[in-house]
Amino acid sequence: MARDYIQMYKDKLRTAAQVAKVVEPGDFVDYGMFNGQPVAFDKALAERKAELSDIKVMTAVTVPPIPEVVMQDPQGEVFTYMDLQFSAASRIMQEKCGGVFYHPVNYGEAESYFYDVVGDPDKIGSVPRRIFVIRTTPMDKNGYFNFGIHNSVAYSQICSAQYVAVEVNENIPRALGGAREQVHISEVDFVIESENEPMFFLPETQPSDIDRKIAEHVLYHITDGCCIQLGIGAMPNLVGKLINDTDLKDLGGNTEMLVDAYMEMWESGKLNNRRKNVDEGKLVYTFSLGSEKLYEWIDNNTALASYNVGYANHPNRITAIDNLVSINQALQVDLYTQVNAESSGIRQISGNGGMSDYVLGGFWSKGGRSMICLPSTYMAKDGSIRSRIVPVLGPGTITTVPRQMVHMIVTEYGWESFKGASTWARTEKLIRLAHPDFRDELIKEAQNMKIWRRTNKIE
């Protein structure tokens, strides 16, 4: 390691408490996202609660440990905590605390939110950011701290902040770029040496028999040479696992979230990125959540390319990828084929994230398919079975994907394509995907809504 970089490192080394002292009342503080959220700095900032007021903290996909700024200020008297994409932890915090909010974004353009936007006070970038703090790998011999499995919008956050601090953690894998996957010591104001807390591993979700049926319908649309995007959840991961039992070959990958299924497809030889017409030979992603084995696989893996989200998720670039198969999950679809993938009424469950980026990308890709998947029913708290295909979305329910962007919808009862279909045709196709016990009721509702044609029929 070059001597001048070592000296720069020593000159900038601080305790978390010293770094937290730069925060003043009214400040906006950015945390790294996913496993990049600081632990030591967060604790030190929370300990200053009595000295501060009106502090805004922003991150995305909160993972354990629960942030101390929320734990020490559950009513949000001092700290307002904003999450750009809700996780299970975010939901729990919002239900039990008073200062936790969802912050909707189009993930593919999220980097632009962190730059100054003159005359637009509603844009994030117009708000001065006091400090950005992110967990990184230790500094390498060339003076770089790698962002690891949380590239995302990190470098844009650095560019928008008055102060930049890295919280070094030896457990973070080194994710090779790509682009914007690292920051140089010369661009860092403070270095915090952490206690090397463990990374958060995404618990393995066991797929149900219904998930398996849906995955088999999706698999029908995957052919040799396809480029696959998998969203979060048991079913998309299952698609990757099922691919290993087929004779498919020369698959590619381009995704926002790198999950275990990609590792398994790569290890089985099914996915090699050879036939990608964009980023040939590389599996492109912007962040990862998964198992310990996945993080070990990512470390210094030259088959992977960690990119900023403005590259990995930009619709213009995604649509240029031939044969892109986008596979995402939803919570509800109404008879107009409006898709809710993020809320249960007014209760925020997840978020839009990059779903709309990839739905649009698969929709426009040459030979591509955008597939939105969901079980036809769910069990309510009272034990009753209810349909996920509903006449209209309920009060407060969020439309994540508008109807004109919907390409294919898949349930355990099959798949249908909605591209270019009229309202009455969409209704008929969608009801075919509903659970048989709810189809007659949905037809009656469609008739009342005047979106059911006299000659329509359900097979």
pLDDT the model gives residue 124: 57
Which secondary-structure segment (H or E) carries 57? strand 55-59
Encode 188-221: b = buried (16+ Cβ within 10 Å), e = exposed: bbbbbbbeeeebbbbeeeebeebbebbbebbbeb
CB 86 within 8 A of CB 332: no
Which residues carry out catalysis? Answer: 256
The average confidence (pLDDT) of the chain is: 94
Structural domains of the chain in order of their starting residue, each with its CATH number: 3-193 (3.40.1080.10), 209-237+307-448 (3.40.1080.20)
**In the beta sheet, which residues pair with residue 344?**
347
| Burial (CB count <10 Å: 0-12, 13-18, 19+), residue 24 | exposed
Q: Which ranges constitute the DSSP H helices of 220-370?
A: 234-243, 260-267, 292-298, 309-312, 315-319, 355-364
Q: How far apart are CA 199 and CA 210, in angstroms?
A: 31
Q: How far apart are CA 85 and CA 348, in angstroms?
A: 10
Q: What does each of the 459 residues of the chain score in pLDDT, given as a tens digit?
A: 556 999 999 999 999 999 999 999 999 999 999 999 999 999 999 999 999 999 999 999 999 999 999 999 999 999 999 999 999 999 999 999 989 999 888 899 899 888 755 445 556 555 678 999 999 999 999 999 999 999 999 999 999 899 999 999 999 999 999 999 999 999 999 999 999 999 999 988 888 999 999 999 999 999 999 999 998 777 778 888 889 889 999 999 999 999 999 999 999 999 999 999 999 999 999 999 999 999 999 999 999 999 999 999 998 999 999 999 999 999 999 999 999 999 999 999 888 888 999 999 999 999 999 999 999 999 999 999 999 999 999 999 999 999 999 999 999 999 999 999 999 999 999 999 999 999 999 999 999 999 999 888 886
pLDDT the model gives residue 122: 59
pLDDT the model gives residue 126: 58
Q: In the block, which residue shows the tokens 């967990």?
A: 135
260-267 long-range Cβ contacts below 8 angstroms, 24+ apart: 260/204, 260/290, 260/291, 260/293, 260/294, 261/230, 261/236, 261/237, 262/230, 263/290, 263/293, 263/294, 263/297, 264/240, 265/228, 265/240, 266/303
pLDDT the model gives residue 275: 97
CB 406 within 8 A of CB 418: yes
| Burial (CB count <10 Å: 0-12, 13-18, 19+), residue 333 | buried
pLDDT the model gives residue 304: 98
340 token code pair = 């809710």
**Running DSSP on this structure, what letter comes out for residue 254?**
B
CB 317 within 8 A of CB 278: yes
Which secondary-structure segment (H or E) carries 443? helix 436-448
